Chains A and B, each alone.
Chain A
């Protein structure tokens, strides 16, 4: 009854992206000296951890056939809330972090309620929320960068040693989050229901799944994950920056799509998103090491996204 392991690997939506990632690594490894070093890999993960974490929430929402354009702006606001409360309002750092997480989850909750209660398209809701969060960030921060952060807020930027390589706690947290959500989506009833919802909400409803509650839950949980991304961002840059994360919404969608998750919902894996984020990171890093100007990195990322969606479309057509 059980398909063999190699066949199951090939049939997962992550197989293509993973092959692309390995090929890219091989190419850059053969063409540069510094690529295959622990330090370089650690750097790549640090560079992708913020967008990668945002992309976890984005994956959840895209699996339900939604989209979130506001996640970068929500994260930026969360970062400002955490840093301002800790530095200027004198709140204990732990409470400030908790407040930031709650605020981000609250944004997700409002998005989810608007999508389910008023049946607005997720694209419109989150486009509006993108502007709201962006404006609130600038109003609340007064366009000022928050500095002199307490140690708790920068803890995730600290490193520990693995062999010769320094790894940040933030990188570790990001990887753990990906594994956690891979488990939740793959091995719990909640995860199955998210996929069923993305496949066809009416089928899910008739099966007895409370689809509205599930949708609101997904958006809220995604918001909470954006809060964690905010903490990662703050600890990586060491400041609360109102200008941060402005293109991260699109970068997170890029990671999800490159990871083989379908924008039509119901198909994909969160570990694919990790692969997708790493593909972007590896290309940027590798091309940089080869001395290619950064604008070409953007060009190549764009082409990769179109390729990934084209592959998704073609494979869908084949199964019909």
Chain B
């Protein structure tokens, strides 16, 4: 059996009386797009934050390529090759595309200019950014224009390109299409496919069922702080997935069992 790229076992996170994660498991297999879905308060965000170093779980363990790891902060997770595209916090608006691509990882000029005078190698950063953008077929007029002059989809493209450029293990995307129109969403979904086809697995957090069914290889369903099901989109209908998400039906040994008859009927499953 193949080893999951990123794995979590029994993650627990409590905030006072509130339990955000209640023994959550997680498995991301090589080369797949895994969608993480769940109702508000199901613990999606906490799970993702724990996996990307943005919060420390109280107990449980995280394994990267089968080896236990501990991320102190987001930077630590990034050093382990896990890149995250945050929903509203992806790019610095007034800085240009190349600068954003290399923010926090700037390249300096070789020799004395770089070592002593700390001079940035803007040309090389632009060239490498252009290369990365071209690989993902993101067409932009100029890499020196500030990110704020781009459309929402293009901005997301820059954020995705940056994540892909640095991710050696995993790309995590938090609601990448939430703020976008139909056409732009389509572009971002194409990007996700390209990332997967290059061999980097993608974790996609989304509320948008059609997008999830269009692009995910597998779906992780989170409910009440733990994983209640892992399904393949083709095997289940959207209504069924929603029912699992809301607790109307439960998965038991691969079969769905109706637990709340009224609720199941209300969404047309019975």
Interface positions of A (Cβ within 8 A of B):
1-3, 8, 187-190, 192-193, 195-196, 199-200, 202-209, 266-267, 319-320
Contacts and interface: CB of A to CB of B under 8 A. Distances in A.
A199 B94 contact: yes
A3 B142 contact: yes
B119 A209 contact: no
Chain B interface bracket (under 10, 10 to 19, 20 to 34, 35 or more): 20 to 34
A146 B91 CA distance: 52
Given A188-B119, A199-B92, A203-B92, A2 B142 contact: yes
Given A199-B92, A206-B84, A1 B143 contact: yes
B130 interface: yes
B148 A192 contact: no
Contacts of B108: 189
B74 A206 contact: yes
Of B74, B93, B142, most buried by chain A (CB within 10 Å of CB) is B93
Given A200-B93, A206-B86, A192 B142 contact: no
A262 to B, nearest CB: 8
B118 A188 contact: yes
Given A196-B95, A266-B94, A208 B75 contact: yes
Given A206-B74, A206-B89, A208-B74, 16 more contacts: A1-B130, A1-B144, A2-B142, A3-B142, A3-B144, A3-B145, A188-B118, A192-B95, A193-B103, A195-B92, A195-B95, A200-B89, A203-B86, A205-B74, A266-B92, A267-B94
30 contacts: A1-B130, A1-B142, A2-B142, A2-B144, A3-B145, A8-B144, A187-B120, A188-B120, A189-B108, A189-B118, A190-B118, A192-B95, A192-B103, A192-B106, A193-B103, A195-B92, A196-B92, A199-B93, A199-B95, A203-B91, A203-B92, A205-B74, A207-B104, A208-B74, A208-B78, A208-B105, A209-B104, A266-B92, A319-B148, A320-B148
Contacts of B91: 203
Nearest to B140: A1
B220 interface: no
Contacts of B46: none
B90 interface: yes
Given A189-B120, A206-B86, A208-B74, A200 B106 contact: no
B99 interface: yes
Nearest to B143: A1
Shortest Cβ-Cβ A-B pairs, 3 listed: A189-B106, A208-B75, A208-B104
Interface string B120-143: 101000100010000000000011
B149 A196 contact: no
Contacts of B120: 187-189, 192
Contacts of B89: 200, 202-203, 206
B119 to A, nearest CB: 5
A169 to B, nearest CB: 24
A279 B155 CA distance: 37
Of B74, B95, B142, B143, most buried by chain A (CB within 10 Å of CB) is B95
Interface of B: 54, 74-75, 78, 84, 86, 89-95, 99, 103-106, 108, 118-120, 122, 126, 130, 142-145, 148-149
B84 A319 contact: no
A196 B104 CA distance: 10
Nearest to B141: A1
A203 B84 CA distance: 12
A205 to B, nearest CB: 8
A150 B36 CA distance: 72
Nearest to A184: B118
A196 B147 CA distance: 12
Contacts of A2: 142, 144
B93 A266 contact: yes
Contacts of A199: 92-95
A319 B149 CA distance: 6
Contact of A187 (B105, B119, B126): B119
A185 to B, nearest CB: 11
A106 to B, nearest CB: 25
Contacts of A193: 103-104
A8 B78 CA distance: 34
A319 B148 CA distance: 7
A205 B106 CA distance: 15
Of B54, B89, B142, most buried by chain A (CB within 10 Å of CB) is B89
B186 to A, nearest CB: 24
A157 B179 CA distance: 58
A258 B142 CA distance: 29
A2 B126 CA distance: 10
A204 B75 CA distance: 11
A189 to B, nearest CB: 4
Contacts of A319: 148-149
